[in-house]
Amino acid sequence: MPSYTFLDTPVVYPAPISYPILGGPAVAHTMDADGEKQAAVFHIKKDGVIDKFGFLLWTVAQAPANGLRVSIQELDASGLPDGVNSDYFDIVTSGIVTNTWVLSDKLTDDGTDTGAQLTVAPGDLIALVIEYESFTVGDDIDIGHVGWTGLGRDTWEIDYSYVAAWAISARRWNATLQYDDGTFVYSTHRHFHDGVVTTYNVGNASTPDEHAVVITIPFGVRAIGVSQYLRALGPYEAVLTDYTTDAVIFALTCKSDNDASGSPNSNYLATPVDVPAGKYRLSVRPSSATTSQFYTATMDTDASVQALSGLQNSGYYSSRVDGGAWTDDTGETTYGSLIIDAVENPGNKDQWGW
């Protein structure tokens, strides 16, 4: 038996997406005057070197002649960006295009690829700031946001907008913050889809008939159940399989809930199952001809999918027909997690969202 540390209370892992990701409205915040800017505060949960930052541009009425500056700033005594660029990168005019996911090059202390980069530690609070490098009359861009409040699990994470002074925004900026090892700062509420929510039928006669989320587990866990989002009109199985070999780790029979709409469905194993560190698919497999419904959301970028969990190569949608080969879609995400009550050597557990 693995040597476990038992948790105070069971948790879902990987941390699932916030439900409104599957239906939350997307809104824009306009920057069209001198001095206007946007900021998003991130609560750091693991050691690392901050490398890049991405965000969504919506309508660009006039691309700024002098480009945009994206920067990392510390917070002042009031919890607001302090105005000092710890690291930054300037995005030139040609890269500022309507409906574009913008990813910076290296964020460094001098704005070049050879400059020093910021090292962070768990508990750090940093602000990502976007502003005009130098405003020209007529510059006019929209930054993509989520039009919901209260989606995040982290009360430290607040977004601000600046006109004459910093003010808390009722929106959440669509942004990702990436470490130099390719992983992302965990933040569930800064990402939204491109407006495409897909409803799949789940039944013996459906094509595809098995739908899954790919999950990466960096340490061993003890699974006691699963949590999946669907409209379960008939019985089905929740199946965890090895991503590479397709070997079944467990198959859990789940009952219908007859819900009028989709909802998180939690089902528990009769006996806990040891799940080693690795990459898996957690699927919904039909066990009758009754058609249930499974939901996915197409995201703006693959990076948004991975940043939802803070893990690389995790959180995306996969499907297959009649037990055949799996087809992955790294730009789609869905709600699916293990329910666990013990872990092997997780390190700083805050970085995993619990």
Domain C-terminal end among 144, 162, 191: 191
Name the domain count of the chain: 2
* pLDDT tens, N- to C-terminus, the chain (354 residues): 678 888 888 888 876 655 444 444 566 788 999 999 999 888 887 789 999 988 878 889 999 999 999 999 999 998 899 999 999 999 988 889 887 778 899 999 999 999 999 999 888 889 999 999 999 999 999 887 765 544 444 455 678 888 889 988 877 777 778 889 887 776 655 555 555 677 787 777 778 889 999 998 888 999 999 988 788 777 889 999 999 999 999 999 987 765 556 667 888 999 999 999 999 999 998 877 677 788 777 766 666 666 665 556 778 889 999 899 999 988 788 878 899 999 987 665 554 544
SS3 255: coil
Contact 72, 82 (CB under 8 A): no
Contact 248, 239 (CB under 8 A): yes
Range of the structural domain that residue 249 is part of: 5-19+196-352
Q: CATH number for the domain including 54? A: 2.60.120
d(C-alpha 33, C-alpha 29), whole Å: 12
Domain C-terminal end among 155, 171, 191: 191
Beta-strand relationship, 327-333 and 316-320:
antiparallel
What residues form DSSP beta bridges with 316? 333
What residues form DSSP beta bridges with 284? 211, 238
Instruction: Looking at the structure, tell me whether residues 176 and 64 fall in a common domain.
Output: yes
Instruction: Looking at the structure, tell me whether residues 176 and 206 fall in a common domain.
Output: no
Instruction: Looking at the structure, tell me whether residues 36 and 161 fall in a common domain.
Output: yes
Instruction: Looking at the structure, tell me whether residues 44 and 180 fall in a common domain.
Output: yes
